[in-house]
């Protein structure tokens, strides 16, 4: 994965793309612009970092449609909508879909650059959180079936004796499984284990 953050600009208005590209490049940003959501999707790689400046009203596919596709693909890229036709329902849908902001054209350069800075910080935060979750999941998948059981019952608040009774094994055996499970997960205490467990279970909620 590259550490360079890119401003992806999707707008069917050539003049708007040229103007925004110039502003952003003068501000020191790397910019890639596209005339349509389709062109963006053909070029974009999931591990690319940065943020997306997205026009709402475009032929063939709207900004909201593109946002829905990216959500479906588990894309972490923060989105800032730009539209000359902002209305409350559209704005609400965009924000509910995870957009950072919804700016009306023409947005002032100062406001736009502030929002982009915030979006790039959010991109960094999302990726660090994702990397942490992936590490936890990798540890979780290294547990044996019995250790999985002990983790589940431990995070449900059961004592070693309760777990031993439920699994039909001795408390000492539970202690051994629990010690190995805590070590593999890298959890220092029960509270930390519970936080990790919320990432792993139910696994059907994971992307």
97-125 residue pLDDT tens: 778 888 888 788 899 999 999 999 999 99
Architecture of the domain spanning 5-130: 3-Layer(aba) Sandwich (3.40)
User: Averaged over 24-32, what is the pLDDT?
Assistant: 94
Sign of the CA dihedral 207, 131, 6, 23? positive
User: Averaged over 139-155, what is the pLDDT?
Assistant: 92
> What are the domain boundaries of the chain?
5-130, 141-205
* Res 58: pLDDT: 83
Percent pLDDT > 70 in the chain is 94
* Res 201: pLDDT: 66
* Res 79: pLDDT: 92
* Res 99: pLDDT: 83
Fill in the DSSP letter of residue 60.
Answer: S
Residue 105 three-state SS? coil
Does 205 or 48 have the greater pLDDT score?
48
If pLDDT is split at 50, 70 and 90, which confidence band does 205 have? very low
Average pLDDT, the chain: 87
Q: Which CA distances in Å does 70 have to 43, 46, 202?
A: 13, 9, 23
In tens, the pLDDT along 50-107 reads 999 998 888 888 888 898 899 888 888 899 988 877 667 777 777 777 788 888 887 8
Please, what CATH class does the domain formed by 141-205 belong to?
Answer: mainly alpha
User: Averaged over 156-167, what is the pLDDT?
Assistant: 90
Q: How far is CA 5 from the centre of its chain?
A: 15
Residue 58: closest CA among 14, 97, 18 = 14
* Res 138: pLDDT: 92
If pLDDT is split at 50, 70 and 90, which confidence band does 174 have? very high
* Res 86: pLDDT: 64
């Amino acid at each position: 994965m590259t550490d360079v953050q890119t401003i992806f600009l999707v707008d069917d208005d050539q003049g708007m793309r040229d103007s925004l590209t110039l502003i952003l490049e003068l501000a020191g940003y790397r910019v890639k612009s596209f005339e349509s959501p389709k062109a963006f999707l053909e070029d974009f790689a999931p591990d690319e970092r940065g943020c997306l400046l997205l026009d709402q009203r475009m032929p063939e596919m709207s900004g909201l449609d593109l946002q829905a596709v990216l959500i479906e693909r588990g894309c972490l890229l923060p989105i800032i909508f730009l539209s000359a036709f902002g209305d409350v329902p559209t704005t609400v849908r965009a924000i509910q879909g995870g957009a950072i902001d919804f700016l009306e054209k023409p947005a002032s350069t100062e406001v736009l650059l502030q929002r982009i800075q915030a979006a790039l910080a959010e991109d960094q935060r999302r990726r660090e959180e994702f990397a942490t979750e992936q590490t936890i999941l990798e540890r979780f998948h290294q547990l044996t079936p019995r250790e999985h059981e002990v983790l589940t019952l431990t995070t449900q608040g059961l004592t070693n004796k309760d777990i031993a009774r439920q699994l039909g094994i001795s408390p000492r055996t539970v202690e051994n499984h629990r010690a190995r499970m805590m070590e593999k997960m890298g959890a220092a205490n029960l509270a930390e284990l519970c936080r990790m467990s919320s990432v792993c279970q139910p696994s059907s909620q994971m992307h």
